[in-house]
Structure 1
Amino acid sequence: MPANALLNTLSATPLFAVGLTLAAFLLGNLLFKRFRKPTWLPAILIASLLLAATLAVIGLSYDTYRQDAGWLTILLGPATVALGMPLYQQLPHIRALWQPLTICLPIAATLAACYALLIAWVLGSSPLILASIAAKSVTAPIAIGITEQIGGSVALLLGALLITGVATAAFVGLAARFLKIEDERIIGFALGLNGHAIGTVRAFEISPTAGAFASLGMSLTGIFTALILPLAWRLIGVDG
């Protein structure tokens, strides 16, 4: 059977794209452990690179892959909700810090969106790119909805999410050491607020407390951004 015919036969069912995704994920985790878990090269980045290379080699278009594997995004919602368990377990600690967290969140979440937009605008990026990176610090299920609402590209958004998460996981720890911050609650909150799911995974590697506060930061950032960003986008009149 010719290669093109075989590819068409395999891609006729979503199971092929799902299988590629799961295989890349498992291999990415294996390589991540073999590399001794470097913060600058998380398993999700390794898996993404492997998957992109595989798609390029076999000639399967990204649009076809995304359509076939799209149902996996349904699992992102339950996975995000499941993070409520560590939040519940750390509820006494969260209550003790509710005032500084309430003050910090809107400032930090706004800055997380604005600094990227400002850099992109200075570099002359188009409205489409601006709309695609605005929600880069928000967890994927919420970020995709926001990006579609303000007229951005989901494909560009996913790339921005990956870069943001990897950069956050690598640099928050360095910044904490430089600033001599040892409180795991602060470090975890910063990881979740800026680095969404990838930052939260890194926080759980530090401790359950850091993971719980990362979950809190990720969840609250998603809610705040979903409420504010589309409204702000209409007010400033950016057309994608």
Structure 2
Amino acid sequence: MRFSLPPCGQPIGLVLSLLFSLMLVLTSPAPAQTAAPAPPPMPATDVILRLDGEEVAGRVLLITPTELRYLPAPVAGTPAGAATTPDTLRLPVAAVFLVRYANGTREVLTRPLVAAPLLGDGRLDTLSGPERQRLGRSDARRYYRGRSVFWGSAGAFWLGVPGLVGTAIVSSRPVPAPQLRAPLPVLLQDSDYGAAYQQQANRLKRGKAWAGYGTGAAILLGAVYLTLLSEQQ
């Protein structure tokens, strides 16, 4: 806007009116800029956690014993006018670990399989059940000793009938776990190997108990024979 001074002789009121108009133009605020409308908030969605660790956002529609149906979540930043109804997608239930619903609840669909830990040095991992049993019996014959059972039963013979009863009781009881002497105690946790090792050790214990009892009898008979032989000389 351009202003000019009035020629001489014009009223002073006109000059003041022009100055007042100029001040209004200079001091008036700039027009406010209109802010862009905020994008609509994203709707709350469920989260599908797959067994492979991938998370899928969407809205779960239906879960059957074999299938999960859901609507995928809209892509962030999609214009409101461009929104279309997404197609219903499907996932096998066997591939889904759990669903975290938008309201905070969870539903486990398939628990992941946990690999069985290796037993000992892994020697059992490639063996079948019968092979593990054979290995258990072989290890029991190799590592179980039972010396205390042998000598205890040998001494029990000298007690007469109480010693005979004691030997029968000891031989009938299973070998305690600390006395099994397995090459790796953790191998006994395997059902096939552990049961076969325990059974073979029990058989060995019975044999050693009665062998010790027989040894005690042989020692006694030998001592009697030598005594009689010495008296005859």
Provide TM-score, normalisation by structure 1: 0.22
Report the structure number with the largest CA radius of gyration: 2
| Structure having the larger proportion of residues in helix | 1
Provide TM-score, normalisation by structure 2: 0.23
| Structure having the larger proportion of residues in strand | 2
